Chain A
């Protein structure tokens, strides 16, 4: 019995010592939270119906008043970049664990927690607005969770005829008489998965965003919060296009991808000279 007690004592001490030494070192990984602040300029958007008095009203550079009743978009293909340039991909080929739908009417969707990010110092984040073509197949078998999240009745982010996801879905009203505004974006490319040379038709509405962090995110003992601003003023008054809403482009007939691309380039950048689109980093909290 005495022996046993001794053994237990040694064992307990060992555990305690090991625990202590763990505490002294940085953890090998920690969470990083992305929090999306959806704004018109500096003002966080409040959604509202046609005659809503509380909805945030915005005016485009062309003088068109508009406000939104619904705003949703897909974020995927997230990569955090360390100061030495090492890219840490976050489940980039797994929509269930690496993609999300930001839905302004659902506050909990505005925070997206990246778990198990390796300890280190990060100075850049990259992500996709939408879903890259190789994963944009409405593959319910491979990604049942994301399929359900995107397709839920209050989300409606399936684009059935294109058998892909909607990348952004914006509903709202414009001009003083509150005409309907409806911007849906998504890809229509057709071809062999993973072989872009076979994409003989269609529009790729997926956009890669690259944002430098104003303060390095220190992952380890701290679990940083990166606050990302999505400035929807850019929808009509973007870096690439200045858009005047009218009969030809304000309604969902902007599915006629020609008009759609103008909105896509404003929201997600044109892929060449503009790789930030409507996004910027507000702050990094370590």
Chain B
């Protein structure tokens, strides 16, 4: 027989109280763990990069700093942030302008207070596939590069602590760092890594040339095809691979930068054989990156080709290819014209416009 009880017993109420205490305790624990959860990075997927199959291998550093959604977003924000410079006037993007394939049209780089650097601004494209950075290859990992412009007198003239202070005081950055790296701490490495992640995503592989090679229903014009033929005969030994550079360092007898700090690759290696040698530049988007040469010696591509045709400066370490060909690359006017038309097929409109 069931003994219906309209009122709960003391024992039962004690149980209820215990349960309640237990419940509150559990709730507190859950609350605590919820708090913890908030500092755990929420989903930050790796960015799917469409890496062209025929491009050279990725730099190993890429695999230690694979671009993520929020890492790239943070890096892009920093890339365009003028507070990286001491007087808040210059960002990375001030010199690395997208419509110029992330180079600019100045002869030499211009930093804070109009200070002029010793070299031409290099484009930022396909850096994930490069094994050396800068004209002289002084850096081997992209992550090691951002500090250089930040502290260089002729560039941003700031310091990493100064930059960190500005970012920490910003209302958005701590949250962006948290999304990218799991907590809101702003560290030098996180700044460098996020910038590199953003730069890794800057891949140019959708030019007319690419479309022709992939048989996407586009063909070279007759002149471009002739230019490509000349290119393969007279240029491709250095401007090789799908990056149009073999990433070697060569002295090709260009007019010499008399700035006493300039020695080309030799200032890195200490090898006189590398004197005034520079990395073979990629020709992708070359249409947008005038002037040309390590300190902007040539205003146009035609000027460069005329110079090759007329003969370059001799030196003991002049590249063998030039030495073996009378210090020049002979070119007819038609060949030059068509070479330039071919080089313009390396322009990637989707890359230079958002």
Contact = CB atoms under 8 A, between A and B. Distances in A.
B263 interface: yes
B63 to A, nearest CB: 14
Given A252-B261, A253-B261, A253-B262, A202 B148 contact: no
Given A188-B270, A260-B270, A138 B151 contact: yes
Contacts of A252: 260-261
Contacts of B269: 188, 201-203, 257
B87 to A, nearest CB: 16
Interface in B239-282: 260-263, 266-272, 275
A264 to B, nearest CB: 10
A202 B141 CA distance: 14
Nearest to B188: A141
Interface in A234-271: 251-253, 255-258, 260-261
Interface in A188-206: 188, 190-191, 200-203
B147 A163 contact: yes
B140 interface: yes
Among A151, A162, A252, A253, max chain B CB count under 10 A is at A253
Interface stretch (B46-54, B69-77, B152-160, B287-295): B152-160
Contacts, number: 81
B187 interface: yes
Nearest to A192: B141
A160 B148 contact: yes
A252 B261 CA distance: 6
Contacts of B159: 140, 147, 151
Among A161, A202, A253, A257, max chain B CB count under 10 A is at A161
A257 B268 CA distance: 7
Contact of B152 (A161, A251, A256): A161
Contacts of B268: 188, 190, 201-202, 257
B161 A140 contact: yes
A141 B161 contact: yes
B137 interface: yes
Contacts of A214: none
A261 B140 CA distance: 22
Interface string B119-154: 000000000000000100111110010011001110
B160 A256 contact: no
B151 A256 contact: no
A4 B152 CA distance: 68
A59 B45 CA distance: 66
Nearest to B263: A256
A190 B138 contact: yes
Contacts of B134: 161
Contact of A160 (B152, B161, B271, B275): B152
Interface residues of A, number: 29
Among A139, A147, A160, max chain B CB count under 10 A is at A160
Interface string A123-155: 000000000000000111100100100010000
Nearest to A204: B270
Given A252-B260, A255-B267, A191 B140 contact: yes
Interface string A38-49: 000000000000
A66 interface: no
A72 interface: no
A201 B140 CA distance: 9
Nearest to B163: A140
A257 B270 contact: yes
A255 B272 CA distance: 11
A151 B268 CA distance: 21
B137 A201 contact: yes
Contact of A190 (B144, B152, B160): B144
A158 interface: yes
Interface string B180-201: 0000000110000000000000
Nearest to A260: B270
B275 A256 contact: yes
Given A140-B160, A256-B266, A162 B138 contact: yes
Among A140, A162, A251, max chain B CB count under 10 A is at A140
Interface string A150-183: 0100000010111100000000000000000010
Contacts of A190: 138-141, 144, 268
A144 B139 contact: no
A188 B267 contact: yes
A160 B151 CA distance: 6
A257 B140 contact: no
Instruction: Name the 8 nearest CB pairs between A and B, nearest first.
Output: A257-B270, A256-B263, A203-B270, A256-B266, A160-B152, A251-B260, A255-B267, A252-B260
Given A190-B139, A258-B270, 15 more contacts: A139-B188, A140-B160, A140-B161, A158-B151, A161-B134, A163-B144, A188-B267, A253-B260, A253-B262, A256-B263, A256-B267, A256-B275, A257-B267, A257-B269, A261-B270
17 contacts: A138-B151, A140-B160, A140-B161, A141-B161, A160-B152, A161-B152, A163-B147, A182-B260, A188-B138, A190-B138, A201-B268, A201-B269, A253-B263, A256-B272, A257-B268, A258-B266, A258-B271
